Structure 1
């Protein structure tokens, strides 16, 4: 089988600029000519084996990063944007989108931002939103979406925050974090109270008292303590990270700060090195890991999707959380599988069936239209209100990876991985899904022609050509 050529010009150029080297100096260190480096950086030539080895030996570069990064995410996001009817029935070929993502990622992001602004404006007009008539109204992404994209394009791994959390956790020694976290508060001069309250967490800045709800599970209480520690003791680090992100609004910055504090809490509860070793030893058994680290199933699943530290990467997982309406409320993918930015997940995913079997893990072998096969795990993670009459928040999560990593997962045991019929056909979004005979299709694919016969009716009222 011929080896697939590696075009990674944007990543190569980004690496050189991060090192502060000119093309001439970089070419010399890689042992190639200046014109050859220029051609590689502009994707006119693939990255050679000589360059890959030189990157690893000369700079200690994790060469697996050359084949990852933003390209697949950008292509997926652009395809979904191009599925908007405003672009008509002749979207650019997929090859053109891939070239744009590889050669001009900044342009691709600008296009995605522009389409997002258009969508939001269109939705405001459709709902007669008076905000457009106000002088202070501006076209900008919602703060929530901006923050979600920040984590998405950081590969859901924030190195400085992750390492700071790991260092803080190391101070506990052999003590479990659920016991050490209250000590961290005490050392910081903060009083901890647990009371009957609708509020999960409340910090009184004047009295320096942290109050947690007694309705919350123990692992949630520990998480909230660590989150508060992050806000108090890691404020400079969080603010520096926010400065780097350059959010467009104060609302987005405030949301992102909470997100970074949440990240710190998860990383302190499950320190990177120890958690990665435990995950490998337990073959990524979520229940065993939850017990070992006094964490919830959702916390463990989310943490597994963040193990992307250069030089010490875990299995590339995707992680998604959906509500009962199928709307994605959390999403991240370190795999080739990317999620729809708008709307819900493919209805054929087992995550939607998890609500029907509370407390149980559902396994699924699935194949996407590009032929990549995955093993998916789904479970409901509904959160009771803790009192009679209090609302229950109902969610389900899905965690998955490419089936080539199946040996490292306890959930793959006894599955027939070699049987093609065992894999369910799934997609991303109906408008960009290439499957022609999907019985769950909600709208026609934008890139295909339709054939309608009034004398014939199949599962769908049309045929996709």
Structure 2
């Protein structure tokens, strides 16, 4: 809501402590009393627009970072977690959640970490909480996978390159050659086995494998250009994340350079205009921007520019076993992407049978939400050990209430009574008598009757 009050005490306290400032010193800098700042930090007063701008100027950060700091994605994110059947008897409403986040954001964050580790089958230990993948995912989702500064730099650079040549790949190669004295060399797979890209600074070469398709070649050279020309912005984001784990820092830096590459290939204003003109028809977007299905899908999760937002998609990538290798929730608050398990009734698992076709589905979850999803099988690059070409399923989704303008939903009945009922994976699903069930739900007592055999061996007490 536009008139929603912003309580950001925990975020402001972190900023102040990170700058080694006392409340008195920061209050003087903001021209307010120390007692008033104390109330703001304790979430007993909201943050005004004037103070937000002063803080942004004082600490040189994006003001949206304050909103992104809400524990677990704010009220909506906390609500999804508390929709777990184990909390069904508590009847926690939205107003109670709002009060919790305002009064005790740190305890809410502690709950989020405990719950998320439990949901993914992890133990809350020092080893698990330092898992680099979890660390960078938390940081990416804190920004809703939208990095405004990188988008702005990439868009300006894309316009400059576009003026010089219509071929983006050729224009990037020329800029790397002329401005940075770097040449591109395409090498045989036998010379670069198991390597797609190598930067040889001694020879001043970026060496690319011949296995890369045209979209992937453009992506790799664009990523290198971003590492060079957006280095200070990337360094700032990495420094702000304050990782204590070298692997997490490395992977986060790679994510940011990949983000820049996608933003250079699909410049924000032109891309979102094309999305709206085509109804987000991915095949046209691929052709228009020289990108792959997966590159477009990822880009769709990043469109959160203030005043020019795209539809709130989530993206997930799984292999045939259902293991997740990519997930971006963005602004979707999509529990389908966040869940540790997936439902066999979701057609993302069936796309391998008809590769390169887009499969759509309107699904309904136990919490009453409806989601429109688009899934497709894609191939990875290279052959790897044993000559196996990697295969993945990429799934996009958004709340059904936003799906009416999609090309894929034209003529579709998006009403709640037309959904296909699925769950968030058997351990988290309490739908009774599902013949596809492969495991009992957690926190439910099994119903044992030697005289009856049901559709599933896991009949349980649902209340």
- TM-score, normalised on structure 1? 0.77
Q: How many equivalent pairs are there?
A: 427
1:190 to 156, 159, 182: 182
Q: Secondary structure at the match of 1:398?
A: strand
Matched, 1:143 2:139: no
The aligned counterpart of 1:223 is: 219
**Where in structure 2 are there 5+ consecutive unaligned residues?**
17-25, 57-62
Does the CA-based 8 Å contact 1:351-1:398 persist in structure 2?
A: yes
Deviations 1:39-78 (CA, angstroms, capped at 9, x unpaired): x9559x9x9xxx99xx9xxx9x99xx79x98125752785
> Distance between the aligned counterparts of 1:201 and 1:227, measured in 2?
11
The aligned counterpart of 2:368 is: 371
RMSD of aligned Cα (Å): 4.4
> Distance between the aligned counterparts of 1:441 and 1:140, measured in 2?
31
Q: For structure 1, which segment, 439-448 or 221-230, has the greater mean C-alpha deviation from structure 2 after superposition?
A: 439-448
The aligned counterpart of 1:29 is: none
2:423 to 424, 427, 441: 427
Does the CA-based 8 Å contact 1:75-1:98 persist in structure 2?
A: no
Matched, 1:181 2:181: no
Matched, 1:385 2:382: yes
2:150 to 161, 172, 182: 161
1:71 to 51, 67, 74: 74
The aligned counterpart of 1:312 is: 308
Deviations 1:78-111 (CA, angstroms, capped at 9, x unpaired): 559x89xxxx999976557776456434333334
Q: 1:399 to 1:276 in 2, by over 3 A?
A: same
1:291 to 274, 287, 291: 287
Q: Secondary structure at the match of 2:326?
A: strand
Does the CA-based 8 Å contact 2:360-2:374 persist in structure 1?
A: yes
Does the CA-based 8 Å contact 1:8-1:41 persist in structure 2?
A: no
Q: Secondary structure at the match of 2:284?
A: helix
**Where in structure 1 are there 5+ consecutive unaligned residues?**
27-33, 125-131
Q: 1:278 to 1:446 in 2, by over 3 A?
A: same
Deviations 1:264-321 (CA, angstroms, capped at 9, x unpaired): 1111111111111111111100000000000001100110111011222111111111
> Distance between the aligned counterparts of 1:157 and 1:5, measured in 2?
20
Deviations 1:159-203 (CA, angstroms, capped at 9, x unpaired): 222222112212113524233221221122101101112321111
Matched, 1:236 2:228: no
The aligned counterpart of 1:108 is: 108
Q: Secondary structure at the match of 1:171?
A: helix
> Distance between the aligned counterparts of 1:5 and 1:181, measured in 2?
41
Matched, 1:462 2:459: yes
Q: 1:433 to 1:362 in 2, by over 3 A?
A: same
Deviations 1:385-442 (CA, angstroms, capped at 9, x unpaired): 2699632111011111122222321000132224x45311123243443433433334
